[in-house]
Amino acid sequence: MTSTTAPPAIALRAVTKSFGEVHAVRGVDLQVGQGEVVAYLGPNGAGKTTTIDMVLGLSQPSSGSVSVFGMAPREAIDRGLVSAVLQTGGLLPDLTVRETIRYTAALFPAPLAVDEVIERAGIAELADRKVGKCSGGEQQRVRFAMALVSDPELIILDEPTAGMDVAGRRTFWENIRADAGRGRTVVFATHYLDEADAYADRVVLLRKGEIVADGTAAEVRALGTGRTVRATWPGADQSALAGIPHAQSVEVRGEQVLVHTGDSDAVARHLLNHTPARDLEILARGLEDAFVALTGDQAAEPDRVASTPSPTATTASTPGSLR
């Protein structure tokens, strides 16, 4: 009996990529299901660019296999199934936003309606403005519309909200989530970890070419073990701070002392019983803490969480990078 199960949007199996003596990707296994919104994160040099280049068919793995919707990446791209939104390029400043989207639509055999794309990208009020007069954040939304016009099944986003204000970021992600609700797959890189926390179904952390965490934001946060004990302690001296038991690190911010620890109860008891500290608060660590703990140079290798330059620059066939 033939299975009707849809292939994953992205499947990497034991993928490695080396450049001479440099091992950029080391045995990456990753599946992204259709309709998922996945944050692909890691410090600079972690191997994200190299991995995404292989997904976009811009380079080949040294070993292992890469497939997109069950086919070779270039075949998926040739079928118009993939678009990428990059941080720069792909815009002609003397065209209006509407002209830009119309010109891009003309490159595809069955594009979405230009007005529909403009509305879904949240740039209707910009339609008659020249692209060169748009802010950096507005130009990112124009690039998103250019990527949408081909109606791809997979969109890869590189720092998509760079330059946007808070309201613009929120509107952008509401549009992305609405699109994902229609079954589109989204993979994005961002330096705004709150975006990954709030909008991604999954967070994948890469460190030195290897995936060190893969799960929901809550699961990844849990891997960054420990809590923070915050207290008011005016004039705390270094010797007293050094004597706090089970402290992994201590920060002093004015009258506030923050103790990062794997045993918050012991730290709290010590502060209450042996120091003048007051107003204690125990805080769970956030995604940023987990990111630093899991991807920093001193990070141990944790167990993985179980997974479940022309207008054509926004298409996946155009070279670009995710940092």
pLDDT tens digits for 269-316? 999 999 999 999 988 777 877 887 787 764 444 333 333 333 333 333
Same domain, residue pair 173 and 64? yes
pLDDT surpasses 90 at 62: yes
Same domain, residue pair 229 and 202? no
**Residue 107, in any domain of the structure:** yes
SS3 call for 156: strand
| Mean pLDDT value across residues 202-209 | 93
**Residue 254, in any domain of the structure:** yes
Kindly state the percentage of the chain with pLDDT values over 90. Answer: 53
pLDDT surpasses 60 at 9: yes
Quick: pLDDT tens for 226-263.
Answer: 788 999 999 998 889 999 999 988 999 999 999 988 88
The CATH number assigned to the domain holding 191 equals 3.40.50.300
H-assigned helices in 234-308: 238-242, 264-274, 287-295
| Mean pLDDT value across residues 192-215 | 91
**Residue 186: what are its φ and ψ, rounded to 5°?**
-130, 130
**Residue 185: what are its φ and ψ, rounded to 5°?**
-95, 140
Same domain, residue pair 233 and 166? no
Q: Which residue range(s) make up the domain with 142?
A: 10-221
314 touches 149 (CB < 8 A): no
Which residue, 42, 63, 43, 40, is CA-closest to 52?
40
Average pLDDT, the chain: 85
Residue 232's alpha-carbon distances to 42, 148, 267, in angstroms, are 34, 50, 14
Quick: pLDDT tens for 25-44.
Answer: 999 999 999 999 999 998 88
- Burial class from Cβ neighbours inside 10 Å (0-12, 13-18, 19+) for residue 217 reads buried
- Cα separation of 144 and 298, whole Å? 37
184 touches 35 (CB < 8 A): yes
Same domain, residue pair 110 and 198? yes
Same domain, residue pair 128 and 157? yes
Helices 136-148 and 166-181 sit at what angle, rounded to 10 degrees? 10
**Residue 39, in any domain of the structure:** yes
pLDDT surpasses 90 at 211: yes
202 touches 38 (CB < 8 A): yes
List the structure tokens of 273. Answer: 């019983």
pLDDT surpasses 60 at 197: yes
Same domain, residue pair 106 and 121? yes
- Burial class from Cβ neighbours inside 10 Å (0-12, 13-18, 19+) for residue 129 reads middle
Same domain, residue pair 111 and 213? yes
What pLDDT, on a 0 to 100 scale, did the predictor assign at position 4? Answer: 56
List the structure tokens of 230. Answer: 């915050």
List the structure tokens of 203. Answer: 């967070």
146 touches 114 (CB < 8 A): no
- Cα separation of 283 and 299, whole Å? 21
pLDDT surpasses 50 at 322: no
Same domain, residue pair 54 and 112? yes
- Cα separation of 46 and 35, whole Å? 25
C-alpha 310: how far from its chain's center? 25
Please count the structural domains in the chain.
2
**Residue 2, in any domain of the structure:** no
**Residue 153, in any domain of the structure:** yes
